[in-house]
Amino acid sequence: MPDGPDYAALTRGQLALLDRVNAGETGLAVLNDLVRLTQDVLGVQGAGFAEYSPGHSRIIAATGTCAVVLGRRVPHGTIAWSDDVFSGHIEGQRALGARCAVGGVTVGSLHVSYGSDAGPTPDHEAVLKLLAATAGHMYGTQAGLPVHGDGPVVAALADGLAVVDRDGVVQLWNPAAERLTGRTAAEALHQRLPFPVPPPGQVLVHRLPTGRRLKVTAGDLPRTPAMRVVTFRDSTDQDRRHEDRDLFVAVTSHELRTPVTAIKGYADTLTNHWDSLGEDGRREAVRVIGARAGELARLVDRLLTATSDDGEVTGPPPGPFDLVDALRAAAGELPADLRRRLVLDDLPGDLPKAFGDRDSLATILTELATNADKYSPAETEVTVTAAADETTVTFRVADRGIGVQPEHVERAFERYWQGDNGRHPGAGLGLYLVRRIVERQQGWVSLRPREGGGTVAEVRLPRA
């Protein structure tokens, strides 16, 4: 069992975190430091933070033994909370968790792992609650959080958020509310809300004197019935979504046109110059047509999946398969220029079998390798490695490219999102599709900066 909490380290760490937030540092980088502080202060084997969305949460920061679950999606209902605290076992490890809330709205939870034999003490529980409250402060002040923008709770925090009493007097006013209305917290607090509050479940569109139109929703706080949480967002977000869709159509039209042009060009060459091409020329033309047709088929599947309402990815039932053999076969299907950059020499020959959809490895590796190729210098290698632990089989695709910012490691999986402001060609669908495919197989995928520069994409699948 670990010793008591290191209160000196706790004090120093909290002050350092608050200094960073007050200095304007934001987002996942600061949250990662909070998770590391949690592990150090409590002397545990690992720590992690799960951000909540409707119906599930996702591990967005993790250290120590919890690092393997980074990026994992966890359905709600798998943990039994008591008074905002969880104490029990997660995957065979003794665990303790504390719920993180802002104004009565759950935004996430902070967890630690003690191993199989040790257990927490009341002091550990108190410190974990304190650190979870620190995370809540970061969410409440919009310190680059939440990471994800889906769902009513997260969307509410990403947009204007006010808590009002039954008389409409403001008790909480977040920075997004300041930006949207032009009223500072000092001007808004303890004053009446400057627009009507709609009944729960209804949407009100309110026009500010500046001409900005707000979409306003409201709901009762579950544990404080005398208070209401009011959320509002700029209705120009709809216009932005139309612009994003127009950009998506333009970029994907370009992506579709590239393989179609090659297929048509080589098909016309075969038709018009069959005799003059010779046997080798005809074989090469057919090979290119086949490769481009495969590329086109994968692209069409990707677009159909990404533009569906639920983004559901279908496929054959999962089963045991040799991950190394599947990776080598998938690498063989890559375009020649990308295949030459890929290094698979260090793949172990005795890796346990994975449980999932073998055929999907071609799509997953294509997307990850293409991403690595796009964002790294041509003279550098893209390496593929594999490993296993007691519960998962893993492979990693690593590059020496421009790297990924900590605040972007989760946003990169959003549909249509591009971290380089569109400077590189693409529709922002590849990583979105990879996550959908991997999670259908009860696995998970994550990104992280690579030591020495570059990015590592890690895919974990269950062991057979």
Q: Other CB atoms closer than 10 Å to residue 281's CB: what's the count?
A: 14
Global pTM reads 0.66
Question: Which pLDDT value is given to residue 417?
Answer: 75
Question: Which pLDDT value is given to residue 304?
Answer: 65
**Do residues 124 and 166 share a domain?**
no
Closest CA to 373 of 446, 435, 425: 425
**Do residues 251 and 182 share a domain?**
no
pLDDT beyond 80 at 109: yes
Residue 147 inside a domain? The answer is no
Per DSSP, the residues of 111-175 read EEEEETT----HHHHHHHHHHHHHHHHHHHTTSS--S---SHHHHHHHSEEEEEETT-BEEEE-H
- Summarize the confidence of residues 223-239 as an average pLDDT: 70
**Do residues 220 and 282 share a domain?**
no
Here the tokens at position 192 are 């009446």
**Do residues 39 and 85 share a domain?**
yes
Specify the higher pLDDT residue, 163 or 76: 163
Report the range of poorest mean pLDDT among 89-93, 148-152, 251-255, 323-327.
Answer: 148-152
**Do residues 388 and 299 share a domain?**
no
Question: Which pLDDT value is given to residue 107?
Answer: 84
Residue 2 inside a domain? The answer is no
**Do residues 255 and 353 share a domain?**
no
- Summarize the confidence of residues 95-124 as an average pLDDT: 83
**Do residues 127 and 65 share a domain?**
yes
Among residues 234, 266, 296, the one where a domain terminates is: 234
- Summarize the confidence of residues 273-298 as an average pLDDT: 84
Residue 314 inside a domain? The answer is no
Question: Which pLDDT value is given to residue 152?
Answer: 42
What burial class does residue 429 get, using C-beta atoms within 10 Å of its C-beta: 0-12 exposed, 13-18 middle, 19+ buried?
A: buried
CATH number at residue 275: 1.10.287.130
Residue 152 inside a domain? The answer is no
Q: Percent of the chain beyond pLDDT 90?
A: 31
Report the range of poorest mean pLDDT among 120-129, 411-420, 447-456.
Answer: 411-420
Per DSSP, the residues of 329-340 read HHHHTS-HHHHH
**Do residues 210 and 163 share a domain?**
yes
Question: Which pLDDT value is given to residue 154?
Answer: 46
Residue 21 inside a domain? The answer is yes
Among residues 248, 283, 307, the one where a domain terminates is: 307
Angle, helices 28-42/122-140, rounded to nearest 10 degrees: 170
433 to each of 195, 259, 298, 303, 410, how far by Cα in Å? 41, 20, 11, 9, 14
Among residues 307, 336, 366, the one where a domain terminates is: 307
Residue 153 inside a domain? The answer is no
CATH number at residue 196: 3.30.450.20
Please report, in angstroms and rounded to a whole number, the separation of the first and last CA atoms in the chain. Answer: 33
Number of domains in the chain: 4
**Which pLDDT band holds residue 337 (cuts at 50, 70, 90)?**
confident
What is the DSSP code (8-state) at residue 192?
B
**Do residues 180 and 294 share a domain?**
no
What is the DSSP code (8-state) at residue 48?
E
Q: Which helix (H) or strand (E) holds 9?
A: helix 7-22
**Which pLDDT band holds residue 1 (cuts at 50, 70, 90)?**
very low
Q: Identify the domain containing residue 257 by its residue range.
A: 236-307
Q: Whole-angstrom Cα distance, residue 364 to residue 366?
A: 5
214 to each of 136, 160, 178, 179, 218, how far by Cα in Å? 26, 10, 13, 12, 13
CATH number at residue 102: 3.30.450.40
Q: What is the pLDDT of residues 11-40, one digit of tens each?
A: 999 899 888 877 777 688 889 999 999 999
**Do residues 394 and 353 share a domain?**
yes
Q: What is the mean pLDDT of the chain?
A: 82
**Do residues 58 and 25 share a domain?**
yes
Residue 252 inside a domain? The answer is yes
Here the tokens at position 171 are 């008790």
